[in-house]
Chain A
Amino acid sequence: MKVNVDKTLVASIALHVLVLGWGLVTFSSKAFVAEESLPIDIISTDQLAQMMSGQKTGKKEEPKPKVEKIAEAKPEEDAVGKVTEKKELIKTNSTPEPPPKPAEKPVEKKPEPPKPVAEAKPKEEPKPQEKKPDPAKEDPIAELQKKLETKKPPPKPVEQKVAAVQPQQQPKPKERSFDPAQIQRDLDKRAATRHELTGTALNASASLGSATGTAVANVATWRGAFQGAVKRCFTPTYNGQDADQYEADIDIPMKIDGSLASEPIVVAVRGPSRSIAQAVAESAKRAIVQCQVYSFMPKQQYESWKLIPMTFGLKDML
């Protein structure tokens, strides 16, 4: 047996086992309590727009987006194939990129475009009265369109033909001429419609929309921001012996606008010298008051920061 045992390897293994064992014993007793995690999703611009959606007529004070219909579980499908997408602007003889849809789904050909719903559920179609046309109705273009439409036959059949044929056509150079009728034809003649506002919970009041989208659900963001904001104003003076033993627990009652609801409450102070500990607490209180208003605090989560418990220490001083 010529097992050549490398002593250094043995020593290395022994040491590592020791270190790892020590680490396991030392750290395993502590519960692994992570701060609320930050969920990361990759979202499309459409999803972002929906998260932040609002109405011009909404009120500022109402941060929750209006919801008229509870969104159904979204099928994970390609968005391109959705029929409820607003139809492409159709022009009679201009040469736009032709929408392939009409050709693929002839059954959908109707003089009226389907009532747009978030998910294009067929059941939405028989209830056209549900749509709220208020903002769109006032659109002067739509008004003009209606007037003009009376003189003209419904252009839809033509459109379909042209649209279907066009992919094969080579664009032909055309004479540029002024034709008012062409402008009229170029106009978007679809009836003004809009999607139902969907969400997870019904909400009847209109909202201006949200600047932060669903980021309001992130607890981690306001905690860090609040810490940083208060730290800017915290100027404790003690950095002598046992500085790390000085601590002040302070509860901060907050108002929804990010200002203090009342003076910060000193819950407890710790440290070898009572007067220095007290000075640390007062310094912390001044910092909290001086650095307000904490307007970045998410109003939707007010319940979670109505009272912010904090500890001010001198651990990293020197």
Chain B
Amino acid sequence: MNDVSSMNRRRFMTLTGSTLAMLGGGHAFAQGQQGRLRIDPTEFQPIPIAISNFVPGSPSDGDVGNGVTQVITNNLKRSGLFAPIDQAAFIERISNIDVAPQFQNWKTINAQALVTGRMTRQQDGRLKAEFRLWDVISGQQLAGQQYFTSPEYWRRIAHIISDQIYERMTGEKGYFDSRVVFVDETGPKERRVKRLAMMDQDGANVRYLTRGSDLVLTPRFSPNSQEITYMEFGQGDPKVYLFNIETGQREIVGNFPGMTFAPRFSPDGQRVIMSLQQGGNSNLFVMDLRSRSTTRLTDTPAIDTSPSYSPDGTRICFESDRGGRSQIYVMAAGGGQAQRISFSKDDTNATYSTPVWSPKGDYIAFTRQGGGQFSIGVMKPDGSGERLLTSGYHNEGPTFSPNGRVLMFFRDPGGSGGPSLFSVDISGRNELKVPTPGFASDPAWSPLLSSTPG
């Protein structure tokens, strides 16, 4: 009997297998029934692009022309979406950007797009930058702009041109004309000096914003002004500060009795949301920067912290250990019922922290701790589609590029060394070290500068 039943089962298995195979085959055939040939690329390939040296408008403009070319090339290459072609392979030298290039010369080296440009010092001392983006295949001009600026801002012009190229070719907004604020760390491990620093997203133009006498943590950019909010250990309790990049002025946010930390701006820049320590617990508060009025958002006997607004300002994600371990929750911007969204599939002891909502709204990035590793990952705001982008001894503090396409975070290899900044595409590809003068942690990406006034 047993033998028979096992035989039967095996036969059933075989039958089911072949039936499923048939159905699978049928499915494959059914796909072709729409009558259209279908192509889905299986692997990602960067766009081959040729960036010719920007032509100097006068003999003295050669250096700035080459500099702009280099910045654009570096930006596009680091994005991972473009493969700039080595200039040594160029067949044609662009000497006049007002005549159409010989596209055959660029097709031969497999370029899909070509960038040409010119830098000219004007009579009034300003710098004129012109560029054209050509579709090599169709021979059409895709973009063409000219900008005027002070000569010292030539790098910014190069970033703006990079953004134009990126946007025209990918359909997504660029992120090159942006800055990163971070905590610069120098000195030996036991007496580390931590200063607030700011640089262009490519690591250039580093500026130090604080002297390093006090410990600073968690700097965050305002979405629409030249302000940063951060936490600083001063004389008394650690407090959340507001810092104006242009004027250097700073002020304490709110007048709370205890420690305030983990601040972040609302998407309209009018409010700052943060944690306030009350005994062994902490709760979320929001302060209106104009009226200076504060509102309590959570009231739990747990640690609620790291709040981050959705880009439309209607919801907040934050971390809380109200369930026993640190997990990510989402609730309405005005407070109320919170819903847990982080659920580890493989490791029930894993914890999730430092959630940050993408400026595009499509993902929430987080730090995940589990199995002795710190990982950086993304999930959809409903908790689905979790994807870990990098794992290791210590990775923490993700921040989104202004277009939501790239994450920057810091990594500490352990030992006597210190942390460094890294960036990674939200697909998990193209992990790169971000150049900084020394050790660096706690990065926060600014919005696009061109989108902020001043």
Contacts and interface: CB of A to CB of B under 8 A. Distances in A.
Interface of A: 4, 6, 8-9, 12-13, 16, 19-20, 23, 26-27, 30-35, 223, 226-227, 230-231, 234-242, 249, 263, 273, 275-280, 282-286, 289-290, 308-318
Nearest to B48: A235
Interface stretch (B23-31, B249-257, B339-347, B415-423): B23-31
A76 to B, nearest CB: 33
Interface string B135-175: 10110000000000000000000000000000101111000
Interface residues on B, range: 35 or more
B5 A9 contact: yes
Contacts of B45: 235
B362 A241 contact: yes
12 contacts: A16-B16, A27-B30, A30-B27, A30-B33, A235-B112, A237-B169, A273-B171, A279-B172, A283-B47, A286-B112, A312-B38, A314-B41
Nearest 10 A-B pairs (CB), nearest first?
A279-B171, A276-B171, A275-B171, A241-B362, A33-B33, A30-B30, A315-B40, A6-B5, A237-B170, A316-B40
Given A23-B19, A240-B427, A290-B112, A309 B39 contact: no
Contacts of A234: 39, 41
Contacts of A230: 39
A27 B41 contact: no
A2 to B, nearest CB: 10
B137 A12 contact: no
Contacts of B81: 237
B39 A313 contact: yes
B235 interface: no
B363 interface: yes
B41 to A, nearest CB: 5
Contacts of A276: 170-172
B89 interface: no
B29 A16 contact: no
B9 A290 contact: no
A290 B47 CA distance: 13
B104 interface: no
Nearest to A6: B5
Given A231-B39, A241-B363, A285-B138, A35 B32 contact: yes
Contacts of B137: 285-286, 289-290
A191 to B, nearest CB: 54
Given A240-B426, A314-B40, A8 B32 contact: no
A68 B379 CA distance: 71
Contact of B169 (A279, A290, A309, A316): A279
Nearest to A223: B37
A289 B5 CA distance: 61
A185 B35 CA distance: 65
B122 to A, nearest CB: 33
A227 B26 contact: no
Contacts of B32: 33-35
Given A290-B112, A311-B38, A240 B362 contact: yes
Nearest to A244: B40
Interface in B32-91: 32-42, 44-48, 81
A316 B171 contact: no
A252 to B, nearest CB: 9
B359 to A, nearest CB: 12
Given A6-B2, A27-B27, A240-B405, A12 B12 contact: yes
A318 B389 CA distance: 12
B99 interface: no
Contact of A311 (B9, B39, B41): B39
B41 A236 contact: yes
B170 A238 contact: yes
B432 interface: no
Interface string B239-281: 0000000000000000000000000000000000000000000
Interface string B309-334: 00000000000000000000000000
Given A4-B1, A241-B362, 18 more contacts: A23-B23, A27-B27, A27-B30, A234-B41, A236-B41, A238-B171, A241-B385, A263-B138, A273-B172, A275-B171, A290-B137, A310-B37, A311-B38, A311-B39, A312-B38, A314-B41, A315-B40, A318-B44
B9 A12 contact: yes
A99 to B, nearest CB: 52
B356 to A, nearest CB: 16
Contacts of A239: 44, 427
B38 A310 contact: yes
A280 B29 contact: no
Nearest to A309: B36
Contacts of A31: 30, 33
With most chain B CB atoms within 10 A of its CB, the pick from A27, A236, A310 is A236
B8 interface: yes
Contacts of B171: 237-238, 273, 275-280
Given A231-B39, A240-B362, A286-B135, A23 B20 contact: yes
A32 B28 CA distance: 10
A235 B41 CA distance: 8
Contacts of B405: 240
